[in-house]
Structure 1
Amino acid sequence: MKRRILLFAVSLIAAGLAGLTVHAQVEGEQSHSTSVAGMVKLLEVEAQLIDALKDYAAELDKKLQAVRSGIASMRRESKGAQDSMEEYLSNPLNSFRLIRRMHRDWTLWQMFMDDPVGLPQVDRVQELRDQMPTSTDLEEAVTAVDRIQSTYGLEVADISHGILDGRQYNVSLNALDTYAMGQILFDEGKYATAAGWLYQTLVWLEDNNNSLPGPEALSKGEVQAVYAETLLKLERHADALKVVNIALGGDKRNDIKMLLKKSEIETLIRMGPDSVLTAPTLKSPAPPVGAYERGCRGLFPSPSTDARLHCVYNSSNSDFLRLAPLKMELVGLDPYMVLYHDVISASEISQLQEMAVPGLKRATVYRTNAARSVVVKTRTSKVTWFLDTFNELTIRLNRRIADMTNFQLVGSEMLQVMNYGLGGHYDKHYDFFNASTATNMTHMNGDRIATVLFYLTNVEQGGATVFPNIQRAVFPQRGSAIIWYNLKDDGETDPQTLHAACPVLVGSKWVCNKWIRERAQLFRRPCLKRGK
């Protein structure tokens, strides 16, 4: 039994170490946290794990009941013998039964005690290991929560208590959750943020009397040691000394380690000035807030009252729109940007999502130096691509895009359906390419003249599309679509189109986009000379 447990533990460690090289291999990486739809299967796997643990408990309980029943029976026999030992043994039948019991019954009990319990359940858990998150998944999840915190300016204590950007949710983090945040952020060198999470871990343990079940138990002394080390990294020596002194008055198992740490800190303090803050609970300095963060938080100023910005029923782009005009809002002229409302139906959205889920893969970004698409931390989502002629729905959507934009779609890219996950985002970027490093497709079909982005879902909090250079933010509205030009009238790339997808705070964000290429637009949007 011990050998099987050891092998199981080794396999867990090996699985964790295997996750460390995940970014080197895009193929086969599940990237659980990068798509809400992709994480659904994790709940299904967890349900199977709980069932295996329940069956394991039932097997243990069955064995425990047998042991307790045997103890009760043997106690009755033993008690009668203990009251008058010689009288008991003077009866040959009692003597015979004692010898038989000691020779045979206790041999059977020893075998029963040695017999491992729940091996099928342990094997079932092992079988599910391949479907569980790796260490890389956990690191990405920590990075996502940290991204949410910094982008939206949230407090660690609020997040821990389920308060996200002022809204209270029926969920909270326990000490194991906050400790994992602190540990991984410490390993990444983000000491100021790690300190906040480690302090919150100590608060939870204090408030809940260290009450974590079974193998999940967490030593306060262990957390205090990491917290003190984090404060040392921040050169807050006096604060670290306070934490060590508190630890020395608590968990005696850490006395030697903590005494050595105390001596080290006192030496550091004696060797030089200690410019520290007075309390170990002091908040970390807030990161600078730029245009991107302000846009994500909904803090951009309202567009000025420009008579040229208006709402209309667009009935002029195509013959079809004369019969069924679309609601269009002109939201920007530099770059040209419009927002269509109620342009994709609920049934079309549901069908797109159903089509996309089986093929969702981690989104990548094309890198010219690598000459291939690679996984990057600046884009966390999962995507599925569909040929324009994939089915009747994709044909209909492409026809609608042509009506909305008055562009030809020949040579343009496929429809892309995307789902964002935990803190899912796409950092600041342009949709156009650098002509000097363009791919063969760009040389053949031209650059991306326009972007069409359908919002397939509302997002409860976060998830805006922001344009920091022009201070515009568009928050997802189910059924709407935003369109903007990436190229100027003379065909040059437009730096004003810098944009980003803000982290999803709460909700599941689904979008569908189409990049339209310029070469086929020769007679739809002629390239004009500057000044004309």
Structure 2
Amino acid sequence: MRSSMKLFACQVLLLLLLMTIRQAKGEESHCTSVAGMVKLLDVEKHLIDNLEDYAVELEKKLETVRRSITSLRLENDRARGSTEEYLSNPLNSFSLIRRMNRDWMIWQLYMDDPIGLSQVERIQELREHMPTNTDVEEAVTALDRIQNTYGLKISEIAHGLLNGKQYNVSFTALDTYAMGQILFDQENYLAAAGWLYQSVVLMEVYKLAAPLELSKTEVQMVYAETLLKLNQNADALKVVNIALADKPNDIKLLLRRSEIETLIRTGTNQAPLLKKPLQTQGSGNTYQMGCRGQFPASTDARLHCRYNTTTSPFLTLAPFKMELVGLDPYMVLYHDVLSEKEIRELQGMATPGLKRATVFQASSGRNEVVKTRTSKVAWFPDSFSPLTKRLTARITDMTGFNLVGSEMLQLMNYGLGGHYDKHYDYFNQINSNLTAMSGDRIATVLFYLTDVEQGGATVFPNIQKAIFPQRGSVIMWYNLKDDGQPDTQTLHAACPVIVGSKWVCNKWIREREQLFSRPCLKKSM
């Protein structure tokens, strides 16, 4: 048994080492794309099948042991029922001596022989396809982002009530405890306290099965430490006393109670440690209002819907359904632009090559992975396929712009809490390598490939506009003013996805080739 335990310990250490190496390499995040998480279900299936194989091996060994116990006990009971008569027979005596000398040595070796080594090795093989600690931390941050952006209650999230809609899913105490632990490590103590409290509540109702038992005392102590960080000393003392009711002689609990009582008695206080300002955790700012669908309806009579037949000659034959969304900046929404077949083809085309999205950082002069943008992307030249050629022509018809020199098509899929924080699409970089050849981004064209069940709106907080994804629709807006200067009214963000898989495709159009279709008009003094 000792040898098998040593082997298991070595294997665990090896798995941890592999995880550390993977994280050091900065491998792709699993939670930033729903399409990217699909393969995790396949990996989990292999793990479950592997565990079942392990159970079969255990059952075989257990069956062998139980069958042998029956025959061994039968012989021993017969001997002990008439001991003198049994031992007086030389055949019985010899058999007993032989059994005790040899058979039980074989049994010792059989019991010490480890089971499931091949299954353990299989888990090790699959480990490189499994989430790392960094993946779990990103998932925690994503759920916290959803909770904060939409003002959801932690207790409701834990029980599957998301933004007023009940889902047939709920968290276990292991889930809520992981949330609380990691948020505590991130110094987000206010949110951590809510999740740890839910862990305490769930552990009173549901008992976790082996080997995933969770120590109630451990959870209570982390919850108490979180309350202390929030300067809620009296509440922390209550939690410790509740823990002591189950373990009245626990030295660590008694010592911690004494320390907290001293804090309360001496009035040693400090300001609560909050990672986020209180005002961002309440009813919300303009961005949060937009994500929640709380912007007032427009009363501008100039905004209307019509068929666009004028942007290009082709639209005379096949006009687009156009909704004028805004005039400053100019913003239009086109409906029913993509067919179901085209959407499926785009998704199939992008899925194999999805990579973590990056953002250009002016300070470093290169694209970098940042926490403010969580999605996966794939890029395709305009001439990549007949479909991309058709999309390019369609964008030209919608905008009237020349796409020579513009950027490639970018397909994106958002995952757990996927979002893109407030940003501008224009570079505003004069004489930069980014704009020297083709100019700045004069316009953005954004295709919505999917509906999103909850969340995922494109929000323009400065003009209080929110566009919620509609499958097959396209939103287009100008990033530059008539004189070519950046339009700060175009500040926008992609709200976190609550439920659903958000797929989008966008095209950034450069200004250099639009000299005649939208000339730069300098304002007169």
**Shorter-chain TM-score tier:** over 0.9
Shift of residue 516, structure 1, vs aligned partner: 0.1
Q: Deviations over 1:112-152 (max 9, x none)?
A: 11111111111101100000000000000000000000000
The 8 Å contact of residues 238 and 274 in structure 1, kept in 2 or not, is answered as: no
Alpha-carbon distance in structure 2 between the residues aligned to 1:418 and 1:247: 48
Root-mean-square deviation over aligned CA pairs = 1.7
After superposition, what is the alpha-carbon deviation per residue over 1:66-98, rounded to whole angstroms, capped at 9, x for unaligned? 111111111000001111212110001100110
The answer to whether the 8 Å contact 1:236/1:276 transfers is no
Aligned counterparts of 1:392 and 1:50: Cα–Cα separation in 2: 42
- Look up the match of 2:172: 174
- In structure 2, the residue matched to 1:402 is 396
1:434 Cα deviation from its structure 2 partner: 2.3
The equivalences for 1:228-307 within 5 A come to 228-251=224-247, 255-272=250-267, 286-287=281-282, 289-304=284-299, 306-307=300-301
Deviation at 1:110, TM superposition (A): 1.0
Q: Which of residues 173, 177, 186 is equivalent to 1:188?
A: 186
Give the corresponding residue for 1:198: 196
Question: In the alignment, which residue of structure 1 is the partner of 2:125?
Answer: 127
Question: In structure 1, what residue type is equivalent to 2:409?
Answer: L
AA partner of residue 11 (structure 1): L
Give the partner amino acid of 2:44: E
Aligned residues: 517
Offset, 1:99 = 1.0
The equivalent of 2:371 in structure 1 is 377
Match of 1:511 among 500, 504, 513: 504
2:64 paired residue among 44, 61, 66: 66
Kept in 2, the 8 Å contact 1:162–1:170? The answer is yes
Distance 1:18 1:268, change over 3 A: farther
Displacement of 1:20:
5.2
Q: Report whether the alignment pairs 1:3 with 2:6.
A: yes
Do 2:360 and 2:368's aligned partners in 1 also have CA atoms closer than 8 Å? yes
CA contact (8 A) 1:181 1:197 kept: yes
What residue identity is the alignment partner of 1:351?
Answer: E
In structure 2, distance between residues paired with 1:435 and 1:369:
12
What are the within-5 Å matches in structure 2 for residues 374-523 of structure 1?
374-436=368-430, 439-523=432-516
Q: TM-score when scaled to structure 2?
A: 0.96
Assess if the C-alpha contact under 8 Å between 1:236 and 1:274 holds in 2: no
In the alignment, residue 423 of structure 2 is paired with which amino acid? H
CA–CA separation in structure 2 for the residues paired with 1:284 and 1:412? 41
C-alpha distance in structure 2 between counterparts of 1:141 and 1:360, whole Å: 18
Aligned counterpart in structure 2 of residue 217 of structure 1, from 210, 213, 216? 213
- One of 312, 319, 327 as aligned partner of 1:333: 327
Q: Please say if 1:360 is aligned against 2:354.
A: yes
Contact 1:182 1:193 in 2 (8 A): yes
| Structure 1: distance between partners of 2:109 and 2:243 | 45
Summarize the Cα distance change of 1:411–1:275 in structure 2 as closer, same or farther, 3 Å threshold. closer
Check conservation: 1:248, 1:258, Cα contact below 8 A.
yes
Structure 2 residue matching 1:74: 3-state secondary structure = helix
- Unaligned runs of 5+ residues in structure 1 are 278-282
* One-letter identity of the residue aligned with 1:226: V
Shift of 1:275: 9.4
| 2:275 paired residue number | none
Q: Trace 1:58-207 onto structure 2 (pairs within 5 A).
A: 58-207=56-205
Pick closer, same or farther for the CA change 1:431–1:50 going to 2, 3 Å: same
Does the C-alpha gap of structure 1 residues 265 and 18 become closer, same or farther in structure 2, counting only changes over 3 Å? farther
Query: Is 307-316 or 425-434 further displaced after alignment?
Result: 307-316
- What is the alpha-carbon distance in structure 1 between the residues aligned to residue 105 and residue 268 of structure 2? 70
1:16 to partner: Cα distance: 4.1
Deviation string for 1:440-482 (max 9, x for gaps)?
Answer: 1311100000000000000000000000000000000000000
The residue that corresponds to 2:522 in the other structure is 529
TM-score w.r.t. the length of structure 1 is 0.95
Which of 9, 16, 20 aligns to 1:17? It is: 20
Asked if 2 retains the 8 angstrom alpha-carbon contact of 1:31 and 1:137, the reply is: yes
Change (3 A) 1:239 1:144: same
Structure 2: 5+ residue stretches without partners: 273-277
Please say if residues 323 and 333 of structure 2, whose CA atoms lie closer than 8 Å, have aligned partners that are also in contact.
yes
CA contact (8 A) 2:405 2:438 kept: yes
In 2, Cα distance between equivalents of 1:111 and 1:519? 80
TM-superposed deviation, 1:285? 9.8
Distance apart, 1:102 and its partner CA: 1.0
Contact 2:151 2:283 survives alignment (8 Å)? no
**1:280 — aligned with what?**
none
Q: Distance in 2 between matches of 1:329 and 1:115?
A: 73
Q: Say whether the 8 Å CA contact 2:454–2:497 is kept in structure 1.
A: yes
The alpha-carbon distance between structure 1 residues 403 and 32, as it changes in their structure 2 partners (threshold 3 A), is: same
Q: Runs of 4 or more off by more than 3 Å in structure 1? A: 15-22, 273-277, 283-288
Corresponding residue of 2:29: 31
**What is the CA-CA distance between 1:169 and the residue it aligns to?**
0.2
Which of 304, 307, 332 does residue 310 from structure 1 map onto? 304
User: 1:262 offset after TM fit, Å?
Assistant: 0.6
Deviation of 1:363 after TM superposition, in Å, equals 0.2
CA distance in structure 2 between the aligned counterparts of 1:151 and 1:307, rounded to whole angstroms: 31
Query: What's the secondary structure of 1:451's corresponding residue?
Result: strand
Q: Is the 8 A contact 2:419 2:496 kept in 1?
A: yes
Alpha-carbon distance, 1:185 to partner: 0.2
Given the superposition, is the C-alpha separation of residues 284 and 249 from structure 1 closer, same or farther in structure 2, using an over 3 Å criterion? farther
Report the CA distance between 1:319 and its aligned residue: 1.2
Q: Given residue 121 of structure 1, which amino acid in structure 2 is its aligned partner?
A: Q
